[in-house]
Amino acid sequence: MRKALLGIVSKSTSPLKTIVIIAMAMTFVCGDVVSSLAARQAAIVVDAKTGKVLYSADANGRRYPASLTKMMTLYLTFEALAKGKISRNSPVVFSAHASAEAPTKLGVKPGDSVTVETAILSIVTKSANDSATALGEMLGGNEPTFARMMTAKARALGMTGTVFRNANGLPDPGQFTTARDMATLGIALREHFPQYYGYFSQRSFLYGRQRINGHNRLLGRIKGVDGIKTGYTRASGFNLVSSVADGNRRIVGVVMGGTSGGSRDNQMATLINTYLPRASTRGGGDLVAKASGNNPITALAKVLLPKHDAPTPDDKPMVEDDAVASNDDPTTADATDATDEQTTAAVEETAPVVKTRKVKTVIVSAPQIATAQVVAAYAEPTPAAVDPVNTASVPSGWAIQVASSPKQSEAQAFLDKTTKQAPKVLADASGFTVAFDKDGVTYYRARFGGFGSKTAAWKACTALKKKNIECYAVQQ
């Protein structure tokens, strides 16, 4: 079409006509560019009261999460708070690894610490990479183990298209997600932890004498927006998950792969204005179920623990070296979540470092946060008992169990060994461990998740048995 238009121009064509024809041609060229860019983006809007998908564009396409990863880091942090495993005043010590993370960051020195609440606030506002890593190391012992916990929790929530490799979202080719999965996580955060969800509406906080402003520019700009998270790396583009509540309507929207912070925000604003009025005013209750019963261990033992699941000895655990995440742009990776992400990274890198051991955090416009309900009989339950997502748009998924052990390191070693023995069978699966209590002793199941159906799990299990690897399929 463009060639045909330009072919009309000749020496005999009047100057005015030539300008009109060239303008028409440029319109087609720009249209092609916009279509090409749009094809690389993904978005979804979900009615957070019914689970109905109101809008979808490549919602199942694989994307890099960037700082949206921190939503899962905070999910596990909130879970630990709710169980009484940690408190908001617990110290989060920064290792050398955490302190060395690329900006944006608080700039805490190795060996120094901040409170859990300060770490949370720095993540929801500044998107601090060092705080996310420090929290992950605190909860998981080390970041690789915490990443496996994150992926296991994703499977439990029904996020079948997500794998986590680190706590902060800095570039790693093995870390990916989908817009649909991020919407699921956004809904789960509000429904499972309403007592902590107010943190996401935090627009700034005082860190010592330094006021730290947030990156989410839709807070205060669009009525009803109460979070959740922005994200950016070169590979991911500009990402945003937004939760919106207006009257009896509530939605969660996701935009991934935006070409700039401004265009991403404008796209989200358009989606909110278009689809919030179409959301239902009547919901069927929470979309994400929780375990029933006063004693989670008793409930698990009666309902979910396989009767034939006795601990079996495995090989000695293999030592796993800490992997260094590849970073396609270490100077700007996720350092750029503010209004003009590309220009603020340098400012944040040179910001003064505040000594943190004696710093008192003051919340500006603090959210009303109720006291957490402490679970007396704390145990790491089977994920399916706690967080299964039952919506019209997100399946629960299946897993296969290959072993169990009284030591988590041995269960993980068996996962590693099985992966090496059957790499093709488990190419699209994700290994994780699940703790359970039996006769007062904690054991760990070794499982592979990510199977979309019972048939797929059985088929993989059959292939493993041909390699003399015992297993059975379980629904998550």
Single out the catalytic residue among 49, 70, 153, 417. 70
Strands (E), 20-164: 42-47, 53-57, 91-93, 113-115
Strands (E), 100-199: 113-115
Residue 242 falls in the annotated catalytic set: no
Tokens linked to 301: 């033992």
42 close to 59: Cβ distance less than 8 angstroms: yes
Contacts of 202 (CB under 8 A, 6+ apart): 121, 124, 125, 214, 363, 364, 365, 366, 367
As a residue count, the chain comes to 476
Identity at 109, one-letter amino acid code:
K
Query: Which residue is it, tokens 């978005």?
Result: 43
Cis link prior to 274 (omega < 30° from 0)? no
Q: In what order do the strands lie in the sheet with 361-363?
A: 210-213, 204-207, 361-363
Q: What is the DSSP letter of 112?
A: -
Single out the catalytic residue among 99, 113, 122, 127. 127
Q: Which helix (H) or strand (E) holds 243?
A: strand 237-246
Tokens linked to 411: 């269960």
Single out the catalytic residue among 49, 67, 83, 393. 67
Residue 147 and residue 322: Cα distance in Å, rounded? 12
Strands (E), 48-202: 53-57, 91-93, 113-115
Residue 87 falls in the annotated catalytic set: no
* Helical H segments across 193-324, by residue range: 194-197, 261-275, 296-303
Give whole-number Cα distances, 298 to 84, 200, 385, 421, in Å: 19, 34, 12, 36
Residue 438 falls in the annotated catalytic set: no
Residue 120 and residue 198: Cα distance in Å, rounded? 11
Sign for the pseudo-dihedral over CA of 339, 345, 350, 351: positive
Q: Does 229 count as an annotated binding residue? A: yes
Tokens linked to 146: 């915490």
Best CA proximity match to 150, nearest among 241, 239, 68: 68
Identity at 155, one-letter amino acid code:
R
Active-site residue set: 67, 70, 127
Binding residues for substrate: 229
Binding residues: 229
